[in-house]
Structures are given as structure tokens and as C-alpha cells.
Amino acid sequence: MSLTGIFPALITPYDADGAVSPAINRRLVSTLNAEGADGYFVSGSSAECYLLDTRERMEILEATVEAAEGRPVIFHVAATDHRSTLEHARRAADAGASAVCANIPTFFTYSDQSLAAYYRDIREHTELPLLAYYIPSQTGRLLTADFFLDLAADGTLQGMKYTSSDLGILSRIRASRPDSFTILAGSDDTLLGALAHGANGGIGSSYNLICGVYAGIYRAFGAGDLEEARRLQSVSIAVLEEMGGWEFISFLKSVLRSRGLDTGQARTPMSPIPSELDDQLAGKLAAKTELEPYLISPV
């Protein structure tokens, strides 16, 4: 199955009691299907992955696969303990995932050799394609193009989620692996630039709100309509500028709630946005007239 195009990095919906809600998740996915999603990224940063246990992560994966209507689903498997990471990798295929992805372990500092061994260990526990998740702004760990290319050469990695504004590394990886390595851009504000450097598509958090914008960027770029692609990237940046003043998951949930899709509050220790501010925040976005046609319309 091809991992190309636009993959919303799904938030995790909760019910009124704070339990994960597969039903609300299915509604979110059905809405994003209609707004141009080509696939889904489950249990990543936007999903509060490190605040979910294995049962919750598997429930959301299964609900996403059910609602995706055949679209590929990438399952982020990394956990705070390595045994859980491997368990997620082992169970992903049976739950219907199309590929798995893993961030590097955080908190401790690991050598490149240790991190390579980490990915090789995950590789041994799944038959699915394995993507690295590169997000140095969160891990504090810079890795080189050669690190990923070596793991691609020995068959450990089949691709990566590239969440960095340094497009030089992405460009070098693509030049060395022109056809056989999937690169999905993870920085929403530089999707167009990443596509120009050879990315196969994008994964992003604000896709939950304006999936049609990113689908439009991807399709306009593919059609050679750079003027339209640039216009839509500027629309995305306008949303990201508003989001920058808040904890981003709480922002996403607030706007979704005001648009008619209540996904609950983000889990502690993230700060919720008071419900009385929901409409005010959504109103600020709607006041940007270029945004209104693209904001999510829940089914």
C-alpha cells in the first residue's frame, strides 16, 4: 500500500469521563475522509501518545482502521518503556495498521549505535514497513542523513516522518534514495518546501482542523500549480499563528468543539481551554475570511 499524500496526525478523543472514545474517533475520521485525507497517523504526539496506555492506543488504532475505508493507517508505536514499544509493534498488523513508526527514546542520551539497535529491535518485531519519527525539537537529538540512510540500506527502515524545518537533511536523503524510501513531512508550515525537496506527502496536527488546505497544497504541487500551493500554504500558516499562543492539543480540541465535534479535554498536565473561550477562539479563526471555507465541518 502506498504511503503518499495527506495524513492527519489524529488527536485522541475522550468521552465526558475522560475515557478514550472510539465512537468519536470514528466520526472524526469519517469527517476527514470527506475533506481529502489520504491516510492517518495514529498515536503520535498530537494523540498524547505518552499519556495513553497500550489498551487505549490499540482501541484508537482499531477504530481508525475501521473508519478509514481502506486508507492506510500508520501506527506510532514508541512508548516510555521499550517492552511496550515492542508489544505495539507486534500487535499493529493484526489491528489493521499499514505501517509502524517510532520516535527515539527520550530523557536519556543515547549513542547513534544504541539508537540504530533500537530501530533494528523494532524491525524484528513487525512485518510491517517501519518508519523513523524524526522530531529533534522535542527529543533534543540531532541525527544525520547517514544515520537514516544506513538503516535504509540494511532494510531496517522503509521511510520516515520528518518533523524538522531543516530541509537539507531531507533533501540529502531523497537524493540518495530517490525511489525506495518514503518521506512524510511533519512540519505543517513547511509542507510545500518539503514536497519541493522530494517528500511523498505530509503528516500534521493542524490537518485535524484544515485537512482540505493540506490536501490542496499536495494536489496543487503535483499538478504544477505553485501559485495555488503557495496560497494555501499561507492559509495554513495563518492557522498555525493562532495555534502558537496555546498548548496545541488544547487548541485543536477547542476549535473542534466549537465546530460541533467534542473530543473532550487534553489530559493532565496539559491545560484545557475553558469552554467559554471556544467560540471566541473559533470566531478569531473565522474572522480570517480566507480560513472559513477550509475549517472542518463535522459529519
Q: How far apart are CA 252 and CA 145, in angstroms?
A: 32
Domains (range + CATH), the chain:
5-223 (3.20.20.70)
| pLDDT value, residue 238 | 92
Q: What is the DSSP string of 197-220?
A: TT--EEEESTHHHHHHHHHHHHHH
* Dist CA 243 CA 266 (whole Å): 15
Instruction: Find out whether 211 and 249 touch, Cβ atoms under 8 Å.
Output: no
Block residue for cell numbers 491545560: 271
Quick check: 83 and 49 in contact, CB under 8 A?
no
Give how far Cα 90 sits from Cα of 87, 122, 131, Å: 5, 9, 15
Place of cell 521499550: 82
pLDDT of residue 51: 97
Bind-site residues for pyruvate? 203
In order along its 299 residues, the chain shows pLDDT tens digits of 689 999 999 999 999 999 999 999 999 999 999 999 999 999 999 999 999 999 999 999 999 999 999 999 999 999 999 999 999 999 999 999 999 999 999 888 999 999 999 999 999 999 999 999 999 988 888 999 999 999 999 999 999 999 998 999 999 999 999 888 999 999 999 999 999 999 999 999 999 999 999 999 999 999 999 999 999 999 999 999 999 888 999 999 999 999 999 999 999 999 888 888 888 887 888 788 778 889 999 98
User: Would you state the pLDDT for residue 245?
Assistant: 84
Beta-carbon neighbour count of residue 180 at 10 Å? Answer: 8
Contact 105, 83 (CB under 8 A): no
Provide the annotated active-site residues.
133, 161
Q: What is the pLDDT of residue 291?
A: 85
- Bridge-partner residues for 103, per DSSP? 133
| 184 bridge partner residues | 161, 201
Q: H or E segment at 161?
A: strand 159-162
Binding-site residue positions: 203
| Total Cβ atoms within 10 A of residue 171 | 18
